[in-house]
Amino acid sequence: PKKTVVITGASSGLGLAAAKALAEQGWQVVMACRDFQKAEKAAKEAGMDPENYQVMHCDLASKQSVRNFVQTFRTQYQSLDALVCNAAVYFPNAHKEGVFLPGLFPGGGPRWSAEGHEMSFAANYLGHFLLCNLLLEDLKKSAPRGTARCVILGTVTATVNGSELGGMIPPLAHVGNFEGLEQGMKAPVTMLDGGAFDGAKAYKDSKVCDVMLMKELHRRFHKETGIVFTSLYPGCIAETGLFREHYPVFQNLFPAFHKTVTKAYVSQEEAGKRLAAVVADDRYGTSGSYYSWEGEAGTGGGGGQDAVSNTDKDFDWFMNYGSFRTLSIDEI
């Protein structure tokens, strides 16, 4: 039987590229997307064979939608081989509430999920937290076959180890002692550390939580279940929809900057292959690993796939934040 993978946010960018790569390798791809029509159109335009994929509605910013997705999935699929937590939103210009200068600060303050949590935290982390918890049962069933993997997207911009250039650009990720989380992360609380709202920081903080989630899932469930939990940074895919709310001048210059100056640039297609490899390739089957790539081979940088590291040391910086804490599944 075909192996089945669920990929969230597969309607564009990295998720779509990985969906296409895995479908071409013979996987059945369930594209868990908030915009059904957009996802169908994207899959068709990417030339994906309808035999190899199915779009299912899933809005990660609503716990009911996540639960509905899992129910629907189970009516159609007996087992799950891999879950890819890929979807994310990024509001780089949202800055402070009330500040609105067209073209300069187009964001205008925080946005909220169905349950009233700040949107980047809700969509990037909380929805995935719930999805992982629910689909753990389904992944367990395929673990004896040695195929079960749960993969989460991190980012170099959330690193705090002091050696990654991408992690030194302010605002820096900082979740503090989760003061905001302790207070429920609902209005007027927007940030995990309880500080003032900053859209770019909210994104980075949510990504720190994603990688910690993977690490914690590994610690709690890998031995018992055999499921392989990993996270990755696939390089800087400078042209995806992630930057849709950035200044136009940034959108134009960002890819060139990363191609020539930082050499961290990677095409959507190559990044999709990297993510597909973390899902399917034996080389990336060490649970607890954070796989990190540099630039695309050919554009310089760290030599493509050779730059992958998988030592436990890579997690130290995430652990600088102290013990992992999160809402329990009953609270969301």
Please tell me the distance from the alpha carbon of residue 289 to that of residue 226, in angstroms, as a whole number: 14
34 vs 117 by CB, closer to ligand NDP: 34
Residue pair 235/277 in contact by the 8 Å Cβ criterion:
no
| Piece in contact with ligand NDP (CB under 6 A), picked from 80-88, 142-150, 181-189, 316-324 | 80-88
Residue pair 39/9 in contact by the 8 Å Cβ criterion:
no
Question: Using CB under 6 A, which of 3, 6, 13, 293 touches ligand NDP?
Answer: 13
Residue pair 317/159 in contact by the 8 Å Cβ criterion:
yes
Please tell me the distance from the alpha carbon of residue 204 to that of residue 61, in angstroms, as a whole number: 17
Please tell me the distance from the alpha carbon of residue 314 to that of residue 317, in angstroms, as a whole number: 7
Say whether residue 84 binds ligand NDP (CB under 6 A).
Answer: no
Question: Using CB under 6 A, which of 3, 7, 9, 20 touches ligand NDP?
Answer: 9
Say whether residue 231 binds ligand NDP (CB under 6 A).
Answer: no
Say whether residue 233 binds ligand NDP (CB under 6 A).
Answer: yes
Report the Cα 170 to chain-centroid distance in Å.
21
Say whether residue 215 binds ligand NDP (CB under 6 A).
Answer: no
Q: One of 53, 90, 125, 203 is an active-site residue; which one?
A: 203
Q: Which two tokens stand for residue 258?
A: 């990363």
77 is catalytic: no
Question: Using CB under 6 A, which of 126, 136, 153, 202 touches ligand NDP?
Answer: 153
Select from 151, 159, 157, 145 the least CA-distant residue to 274. 151
| Piece in contact with ligand NDP (CB under 6 A), picked from 71-79, 87-95, 217-225, 279-287 | 87-95
DSSP-based three-state secondary structure for 293 = coil
Q: Which two tokens stand for residue 228?
A: 């392989």
Say whether residue 193 binds ligand NDP (CB under 6 A).
Answer: no
Binding flags for ligand NDP, 252-281, as an x/- string (CB under 6 A): ------------------------------
Alpha helices in 46-82 (DSSP H): 63-76
| Piece in contact with ligand NDP (CB under 6 A), picked from 43-51, 75-83, 84-92, 93-101 | 84-92
| Identity of residue 331 | E
Q: Where are the beta strands (DSSP E) in 86-161?
A: 149-153
Say whether residue 55 binds ligand NDP (CB under 6 A).
Answer: no
Say whether residue 237 binds ligand NDP (CB under 6 A).
Answer: yes
Query: Which residues are marked as active site?
Result: 203
Where do contacts with ligand NDP occur on this chain (CB under 6 A)?
8-9, 11-15, 33-35, 38, 58-61, 86-89, 123, 153, 155, 207, 233, 236-238, 240-242
